[in-house]
Structure 1
Amino acid sequence: MDLLEAMDRRHAVRAYTDEAIDARTCDDLRALIGRLNAADGLGMRLVTDEPDAFGNALLHYGMFRNVRNYVAIAADQTKDWERRCGYYGAQVLLRAAQLGLDTCWVALSFSKHQAARHAGFDAEDKVRFAIAVGHGVTHGRPSRSKTYGQVASAEGGIAVPTWFEHGVEAALLAPSALNQQRFTFRLEADGRTVAADPGIGPYTRTDLGIAQYFFEVGAGAHAPLVWR
């Protein structure tokens, strides 16, 4: 499936079967993770057949069950780290969906210490997020979403191009902490610059990073898109 189909298919899945992820799929994900880490300096690692990070039921906001495979995302506090985690992690999330896996973006409901230990991170590498991956008991279901008009605007009454509309519609498919979707996108008067605002609240900058990547996919490779 292409990325647009993957975005539409992807829903948060919190319960997984015992079916292993095949070696070819793991190799594909690790190759992408390696390229993204090299490009941005983040630390992302795929961990397979490891139950400890999601093994404590007391941590399980959202009722996670049988998560044995995940991508651990580590970052220091260099500039814009929160948004970058979301932007690059979203690319792994969608690639996993393309490969037929179910996923869930996770901020709190796992042991970051155990994830760091099993991923082999150094002591100074701090795990911030995880992406649960695997074969879901179900493929999940759509979450409640805001409308286009609640998150999008254009300056000066300019005609809104199709690429901007498609970008916003794609961003509304992105995972968001507590499903808050506090981000907004404003098309500026030049018709090509998009001002992105994370809003106020927990994890909103990371949510914006995820939504920005979804927006770019929806807008298309030929959109005259400039971020501000």
Structure 2
Amino acid sequence: MELSEAIRVRHAVRHYTDKPIPQDIVDELQKTIDRCNREGNLRMQLKLNDPAAFEGFLTDYGIYKGARNLVAIVSDKTPDWEERCGYYGAHVLLRATQLGLDTGWVRQFGRHLSKHVALESGERPRFAIVMGYGTNHGHQHRSKRYDQVARVPKGMGTPKWFCNGVEAALLAPTSLNQQKFVFTLQPDGHTVEAKAGLGLCTHTDLGIAKYHFEIGAGPDADFVWSRVEH
């Protein structure tokens, strides 16, 4: 499965079966986690076969049932940690989808889950990705329109890669499905500003959306990210 397809088939799942994740899939996931930890200065941790981790755990969306596998996204408070958690967490999320797993992004990593994670000085568990084999594969949520999150200078033609990138970003999971981000093509035609709005976890959501944008734009897209101060 290509990443572009994984973006489209992945939906949040909260009810899981007790089917274990095969070792070959675990090994592939761990490779992705190790690479993302190096590149993103994170310490994501894969935890398997622990049903107690989600027992009675209530989120804004309801209770996770049958969940027993998770990737804890752990970081310190170095600059842009929120966006990095989202960007590299999205790598793991979509890799799991490629490997045939159902997933859900957990944004309320409280004390209940914290005891299942090893922490070093200055670190905190920020988010988690629950994964496994769902009792269903979830469903598509309502999305904003392209014109609500995309900006192009007046009179400038819009490159196809930019349109594709924004459309892919609109499929990214965001906290409470708020999609508070905007992608703006700069007058030079190849610099893109990605900016988060105000609200819960918006900088983390932006990191997820930026990785989706890169996948949608494609490897041959001639663009660079502009730097936005948080």
2:154 to 144, 148, 156: 156
Report the Cα distance in structure 2 between the residues aligned to 1:200 and 1:49, rounded to whole angstroms: 37
Q: Does 1:37 align with 2:40?
A: no
Query: 1:131 aligns to what?
Result: 129
Rounded Cα–Cα distance in structure 1 between residues aligned with 2:176 and 2:84: 19
Aligned-residue RMSD, C-alpha: 1.3
| 2:89 alignment partner in structure 1 | 89
- Percent identity between the two aligned chains: 51
Contact 1:52 1:114 in 2 (8 A): no
Q: Note if contact 1:96-1:102 (Cα within 8 Å) is conserved in structure 2.
A: yes
Superposed displacement of residue 89, structure 1? 0.3
- Paired amino acid for 1:141: H
CA distance in 1, matches of 2:37, 2:155: 40
Query: Could you tell me which amino acid in structure 1 is paired with residue 37 of structure 2?
Result: N
What does residue 61 of structure 2 align with? 62
Deviation at 1:160, TM superposition (A): 0.2
Q: Write out per-residue CA displacement over residues 164-220 of structure 1, whole angstroms, 9 at most, x where no aligned residue.
A: 000000000000000000101011111101111101111000000000000000000
Gaps of 5+ in 2: none
Counterpart code for 1:208: L
2-structure distance, mates of 1:203, 1:166 = 24
Show structure 1 runs of 5+ residues with no match: none
Offset of 1:116 from its aligned partner? 4.0
C-alpha distance in 1, partners of 2:150/2:166? 7
Q: Match for residue 196 of structure 1?
A: 194
Cα offset for 1:6? Answer: 0.4
Say how many residue pairs are matched.
225
Amino acid at match of 1:221: P
Amino acid at match of 1:42: L
SS in 1 for 2:54: coil
Structure 1 distance, partners of 2:121, 2:66, is: 27
Partner of 2:206: 208
SS in 2 for 1:136: coil
Aligned in 2, Cα 1:79/1:123: closer, same or farther, shift over 3 Å? closer
Return the alpha-carbon distance in structure 1 between the equivalents of residues 126 and 41 of structure 2: 14
Q: Which moved more, 1:150-159 or 1:90-99?
A: 150-159
One-letter amino acid of the structure 1 residue matched with residue 139 of structure 2: R
Tell me, what secondary structure is at the counterpart of 1:143? Answer: coil
Range that drifts further, 218-227 or 113-122: 113-122
CA drift at 1:153: 1.2
2:222 is the counterpart of 1:224:
yes
Cα distance in 1 between the residues matched to 2:72 and 2:155? 43
Q: How far 1:40 sits from its partner (Å)?
A: 2.0
One-letter code aligned to 1:187: L
Distance 1:69 1:203, change over 3 A: same
> Which residue identity is paired with 2:74?
A
- Structure 1 runs of 4+ aligned residues shifted over 6 Å read none
Contact 2:77–2:122 (8 Å) recurs in 1: no
1-structure distance, mates of 2:68, 2:123: 21
TM-score, length-scaled by structure 1: 0.95
